[in-house]
Amino acid sequence: MDSKSCSNDVDVETKEMDTRSLPASRRGLMHLHKVGTPPKQNLLREFTARVNETFFADDPLRPFKDQPRSRKLVLGIQAIFPIFEWGRSYNWKKFRGDLIAGLTIASLCIPQDIGYAKLANLDPQYGLYSSFVPPLIYAFMGSSRDIAIGPVAVVSLLLGSMLSKEIDPNLNKAEYRRLAFTATFFAGITQATLGFLRLGFLIDFLSHAAIIGFMAGAAITIALQQLKGLLGIKNFTKETDIISVMHSVWGNVHHGWNWQTILIGVSFLSFLLVAKYIVKDIEKGINPSSVYQIYFRGEYLLKGLKIGIVAGMIALTEAVAIGRTFASMKDYQIDGNKEMVALGAMNVVGSMTSCYVATGSFSRSAVNFMAGCETAVSNVIMSCVVFLTLEFITPLFKYTPNAILAAIIISAVAGLIDIPAAILVWKIDKFDFVACLGAFLGVVFKSVEIGLLIAVTISFAKILLQVTRPRTAILGKVPMTNVYRNILQYPEAAKVPGILIVRVDSAIYFSNSNYVKERILRWLMDEEERVKAACQPMIQFLIVEMSPVTDIDTSGIHALEELHRSLEKKNIQLILTNPGPVVMDKLEASRFANLIGEDKIFLTVADAVSSCSPKQADEV
Amino acid sequence: MDSKSCSNDVDVETKEMDTRSLPASRRGLMHLHKVGTPPKQNLLREFTARVNETFFADDPLRPFKDQPRSRKLVLGIQAIFPIFEWGRSYNWKKFRGDLIAGLTIASLCIPQDIGYAKLANLDPQYGLYSSFVPPLIYAFMGSSRDIAIGPVAVVSLLLGSMLSKEIDPNLNKAEYRRLAFTATFFAGITQATLGFLRLGFLIDFLSHAAIIGFMAGAAITIALQQLKGLLGIKNFTKETDIISVMHSVWGNVHHGWNWQTILIGVSFLSFLLVAKYIVKDIEKGINPSSVYQIYFRGEYLLKGLKIGIVAGMIALTEAVAIGRTFASMKDYQIDGNKEMVALGAMNVVGSMTSCYVATGSFSRSAVNFMAGCETAVSNVIMSCVVFLTLEFITPLFKYTPNAILAAIIISAVAGLIDIPAAILVWKIDKFDFVACLGAFLGVVFKSVEIGLLIAVTISFAKILLQVTRPRTAILGKVPMTNVYRNILQYPEAAKVPGILIVRVDSAIYFSNSNYVKERILRWLMDEEERVKAACQPMIQFLIVEMSPVTDIDTSGIHALEELHRSLEKKNIQLILTNPGPVVMDKLEASRFANLIGEDKIFLTVADAVSSCSPKQADEV
């Protein structure tokens, strides 16, 4: 037998050495700490805990605990309308900050709104309407102090591109607008529902990297659309992809091939010429009601619903990302789900008052932050300025040249192209970069929807890949310590002769159970070949380090059983170390712990290794 | 400061005690092993390794390594046609086993084929055709020794239900058949493509539990369909759900409410009566060619493709599950991807020779195994018997009563209802049981496709839930050891005063990065409240145990940065322990390691804890 040669080579801790002379059973009891099995939980309690962790991870009811009923009512009102919470400590100093910030963003927002409304193929006043009502609602219900509300470029572009696929905005202006309100209504419903059902985590499925790519692509697409205004082109394509747009631009240059000079010339010329094409009339007066314009039946109901869901999700993603960024800068918490309810309510009300989808605007929020805003009151100030504009001075905007609007929009969206962030993504994770690039190219070369689809698909593919092909590692003993680590990361870590230690780096589920089993057997085969070639002792023990295995399901247990059966045929003992509470529970429920023997489950790899070696010694 | 009280309470290892008097820097160097950073890998090599692990996890080219070219050719042929490998050691003893098994399954398969063809709304001979050609092809290309090939109940039912939604089998018999061949063709193409592209792991996404539920539901649906034959009902519903079927059955009982006696009476009576309704003519002669009947253009091409993909995947799932089960019983390996190529090839050939989708049949394979089959030759024997039947004795089957066919099918599918397995699933994993029950109820109350959809959806939801809401645990020191474990699993484990140790049990990705950050901060908040109430020393260190964190992406790094920023404001030091090679690499690439300080990353929790405590002592 090889076990003879084994016992001499095995690397045993000095601490364990002196226990060797004891009988195996007593020795086990002395220095090995038993793996804990958590107390059996009530099924209902277990289920409740899981649901709580999924939907109420932020423990929203914590402040309500142990409070008298009247206090609970106050807290409840404050939870829905945070203004009653922070409003109590509002003072003049804060108001000064908010006033300055509010006036600053108002000056930015008016030309932006006019431009964005054009991206959405709506008349300019609808952009202004959307900067009047929604910020007011948000000020009462929102929990972010820095976000500035209004229409945003990406959502306007997305909405414009999706709506005009259903109805031609030039031929059926009124119907197009009705569909826009319908989509806005359902965008609001989607947002509020997600928040109310505490499904806010769904937007986490759009990865950060994909958003970087998507935003950069959208920015370029929006900038390209401005070529129409900037160059004064009349027959412009309705598509948004770079090829169609460039075709439109080229098609308007009826000259030879020396396009550089032509482009520069045309740009300058058009810049001057185009100043003549001015924005058409902006209707005077504040938002008219649009309740009866929303389609609540007919074929456009479903179309509006579909567009609303997509636009609502994208708007959410942007608002939540902005809210989180500024909250972490000033170190306060925003409640994602509550925030969604606020954004949803504001869009539902907006859809009834002639607004289209509004959300947190990145450029506007950044300016708001820089100008020293203190609370959501800056939104109220902006809203008031927009109100005055609508009531009194809209006629002045008649004279805003298209070229200037285009320049303002381009400078606003330029901030969405974040090249350093893309470089960082490349450095950290290549797969993330593929998602980023895919979303970018999809938006630029095809359409906003395709870019979005690519981003979501790649994000999901990444999750699935992670789940199907978990990592495994061979562990060795780090010299001078009692710890066992990945030998690829710690080349100085030494394998223990006669024992193969494999760590599985993921929960074992149906999606990977078969792979995990086969991967472990392949590690074993490789090791047996190596050992044979090197004339070292044969493998007698396979230790599976289960620390990272946080859960296991029926398929996982089956895979372990099959592994055990295969090992038995080879006369190799299967040993598990450090299964977590859930895994231990399931190993017992399925009687697998009995099958391999309770004494084959150890607290640490070191314990397991030391239990192997003396046994070999005993057998000799 | 609280640090004073802290240093007295802190639980420090005796081993570390004596190093306290040394200056902090030297002490660190002495007993702390540095966390390894793996050598920077070439991007291409890293990518190749990842692709290999995903698609070539079983290392299919291993036997080809270091072989002369002629040997490689032989190995290549053997890889595609395993019969040339096992055929060389084939002998009379094996043939005897195969002969007996083959004759046994042949006697089972003929009535089964006739019944299953009816489930698929095809004439009986098409069932027989499908037990003639496909088993022959499989015998040459398949790697399982126990599987028996032919039409199966579930796939026949699925095919029948999906095809008849497109074309009415009673009105357009010929077109229906053509669509069936088209679907079979694409089912084969799907299977072969999945195998060839090594995407076999995709079928792992249907969880074991969902399959149990789906199969049981399908078995009940199939049994219900047999009521038509068993009770001799003529106007039977075309739907498969239990409500429609029961409606049909009830609708045929034109009597009062004492249905028990009526049912018993009608059953017996019809059993006798129905013996008159006999199977219609079975065409004599072997499979005619059907190459020109496949739709390669027109609207039915896409429909056939869609049905083919679904039927092909389900057929694969069944065959691979059966293959794996018997392979693990006899302890040999089957290559999933190669198996798919074999099944795909057999269905493509089948679709051109008037067969519909065939796959590994559970009931037939079990009988094959029991009867002592040795190799796939038993399939050849069965195929020969079917050939003889088709050529000479089909007229005899004219006299098979429908009621007997129904009884045979019911007894065959009864084996698909695996109640003990369902009970085990309930015991091990409640969520799995929901998937199982959902698939079951979906099939029984709605349709096969809905049941399938529910099974896949719940399986995916489970994966996503796992990825979005990973577990976290608070660690404490297990008495008398140097190890830190979940205090819920080991109630005797003690927290270290002034230090909070949190373990994150999953890779940190975009889908959970925000949750992980907020969960850690919530643990901290809870602990701070508890500590305050108990007048214990304040938390000064937050140790995040990263052993189970196998990977991190850009969003994950962001979350860590935000965590670090929040902690800095509270004067709490962030410490990481044991990040794996990939994580360490990314922490360095993103300069996060620099941000918190390289010396704040430790090999073990014990090292990290001991580094905290002397520092506190120094500060006093």
- A vs B, Cβ pairs < 8 A, gives 242
List the single residue in B206, B469, B569 with the smallest CB-CB distance to A331: B569
Residue A282 has pLDDT above 50, yes or no: yes
Mean of pLDDT over chain B: 80
Selected residue with higher pLDDT from B615 and B250: B250
Dihedral of CA B233/B235/B238/B244: which sign? negative
- Residue A59 and residue B514: Cβ atoms within 8 Å? no
Structural domains present in chain A: 3-37+470-619 (3.30.750.24), 85-464 (no CATH)
- Residue A331 and residue B566: Cβ atoms within 8 Å? yes
Q: Which residues of B touch A562 (CB under 8 A)?
A: 328
Q: What is the mean pLDDT of residues A88-117?
A: 88
- Greatest mean pLDDT among A416-420, B13-17, B163-167 lies in B163-167
Q: What is the pLDDT of residue A256?
A: 40
Interface check A555 vs B, CB under 8 A: yes
Q: What is the pLDDT of residue A305?
A: 93
Interface check B553 vs A, CB under 8 A: yes
Selected residue with higher pLDDT from B584 and B23: B584
Residue A230 has pLDDT above 70, yes or no: no
Q: What is the pLDDT of residue B278?
A: 47
Q: What is the pLDDT of residue A8?
A: 40
Characterise A215 by phi-psi region: left (phi > 0), alpha (psi -120 to 50), beta (else). alpha
- pLDDT band per the 50, 70, 90 thresholds, residue A474: very high
pLDDT in tens, B343-397: 999 999 999 999 999 999 887 888 888 888 889 999 999 999 999 888 887 776 6
Phi, psi (rounded to 5 degrees) for A476: -135, 165
Cα separation, A296 vs A178, in Å, equals 11
- pLDDT band per the 50, 70, 90 thresholds, residue A619: very low
| Helices A133-141/A336-351 angle, 10° precision | 150
Q: How many helices (H) and strands (E) does chain A have?
A: 28, 8
Contacts of B70 (CB under 8 A, 6+ apart): none
- Residue B548 and residue A553: Cβ atoms within 8 Å? no
pLDDT in tens, B290-316: 888 888 888 889 999 999 998 998 898
Residue B36 has pLDDT above 70, yes or no: no
pLDDT in tens, B493-537: 888 889 999 999 888 888 888 889 989 998 999 899 999 998 888
Selected residue with higher pLDDT from B134 and B465: B134
Q: What is the pLDDT of residue A4?
A: 40
Burial B104-130 (b: 16+ CB within 10 A, else e): bbbebbbbbbbbbbbbbbbbbbbbbbb
CB atoms within 10 A of CB A152: 31
Say if CB B229 and CB B249 are below 8 A apart.
no
Cα separation, B517 vs B337, in Å, equals 40
- Residue B209 and residue A554: Cβ atoms within 8 Å? yes
- Residue B459 and residue A510: Cβ atoms within 8 Å? yes
- pLDDT band per the 50, 70, 90 thresholds, residue A275: very low
- pLDDT band per the 50, 70, 90 thresholds, residue A257: very low
Residue type, B367: V
- Greatest mean pLDDT among A158-162, A260-264, B232-236, B261-265 lies in A158-162
Characterise A54 by phi-psi region: left (phi > 0), alpha (psi -120 to 50), beta (else). alpha
- Residue A430 and residue B581: Cβ atoms within 8 Å? no
pLDDT in tens, A108-147: 888 888 888 888 989 888 999 999 999 999 999 988 888 9
Q: What is the pLDDT of residue A24?
A: 39
The nearest CA of chain B is from the CA of A546 a distance in Å of: 10
Cα separation, A378 vs B85, in Å, equals 79
Interface check A332 vs B, CB under 8 A: no
- Residue B429 and residue A59: Cβ atoms within 8 Å? no
Interface residue of B511, B570, B594 to substitute, partner A, most A CBs within 10 Å = B511
- List, as ranges, residues 9-28 from B with C-beta within 8 Å of A: none
- Residue A580 and residue B486: Cβ atoms within 8 Å? yes
Q: What is the mean pLDDT of residues B326-339?
A: 78
- List, as ranges, residues 105-164 from A with C-beta within 8 Å of B: none
Q: What is the pLDDT of residue A26?
A: 38
Q: What is the pLDDT of residue B1?
A: 38
- pLDDT band per the 50, 70, 90 thresholds, residue A377: very high
- Residue B566 and residue A328: Cβ atoms within 8 Å? yes
Q: pTM for the complete prediction?
A: 0.73
How many CA atoms lie within 13 Å of B260's alpha carbon, on the beta-carbon side?
0
List the single residue in B209, B427, B550 with the smallest CB-CB distance to A505: B550
Say if CB A358 and CB A134 are below 8 A apart.
yes
Burial A282-305 (b: 16+ CB within 10 A, else e): beeebbeebeebbbeeeebeebbb
How far is CA A620 from its chain centroid?
A: 58
Say if CB B551 and CB B509 are below 8 A apart.
yes
Interface check A580 vs B, CB under 8 A: yes
- List, as ranges, residues 513-542 from B with C-beta within 8 Å of A: 513-515, 518-519, 522
Say if CB A547 and CB B548 are below 8 A apart.
yes
Interface check B207 vs A, CB under 8 A: yes
- pLDDT band per the 50, 70, 90 thresholds, residue B29: very low
Q: What is the mean pLDDT of residues B257-277?
A: 51
Query: Quick one: A477 exposed, middle or buried, by C-beta within 10 A (0-12, 13-18, 19+)?
Result: buried
Residue B131 has pLDDT above 60, yes or no: yes
pLDDT in tens, B394-430: 776 666 666 666 766 776 677 778 888 888 888 887 7
Q: What is the mean pLDDT of residues A261-283?
A: 54
Q: Which residues of A touch B603 (CB under 8 A)?
A: 478, 481, 483, 485
Say if CB A555 and CB A509 are below 8 A apart.
yes
Q: What is the pLDDT of residue B38?
A: 63
Given the DSSP bridges, would you call strands B541-545 and B499-504 parallel, antiparallel or unpaired? parallel
Q: What is the pLDDT of residue A231?
A: 62
Residue B23 has pLDDT above 70, yes or no: no
Phi, psi (rounded to 5 degrees) for B332: -130, 165
Residue B443 has pLDDT above 80, yes or no: yes
Q: Which residues of B touch A46 (CB under 8 A)?
A: 430
Selected residue with higher pLDDT from A179 and A53: A179
pLDDT in tens, B59-79: 777 777 777 888 888 888 888
Q: Which residues of B touch A580 (CB under 8 A)?
A: 471, 473, 486, 489, 505
Selected residue with higher pLDDT from A460 and B516: B516
- pLDDT band per the 50, 70, 90 thresholds, residue B32: low
Query: Quick one: closest CA in B to A53, which residue?
Result: B469
Q: Is the interface score ipTM higher than 0.90? A: no
Q: What is the pLDDT of residue A544?
A: 94
pLDDT in tens, A535-589: 888 899 999 999 888 888 888 888 899 899 889 888 999 999 988 888 888 888 8
- List, as ranges, residues 70-99 from B with C-beta within 8 Å of A: none
Q: What is the pLDDT of residue B427?
A: 83
Q: What is the mean pLDDT of residues A389-409?
A: 71
pLDDT in tens, A137-187: 999 998 888 899 999 988 998 898 889 888 988 889 999 999 999 999 999
- Residue A586 and residue B428: Cβ atoms within 8 Å? yes
- Residue A584 and residue B489: Cβ atoms within 8 Å? yes
Q: Indicate the SS3 state at residue B137.
A: helix
The nearest CA of chain B is from the CA of A29 a distance in Å of: 13
Q: What is the pLDDT of residue B151?
A: 93
Residue A22 has pLDDT above 70, yes or no: no
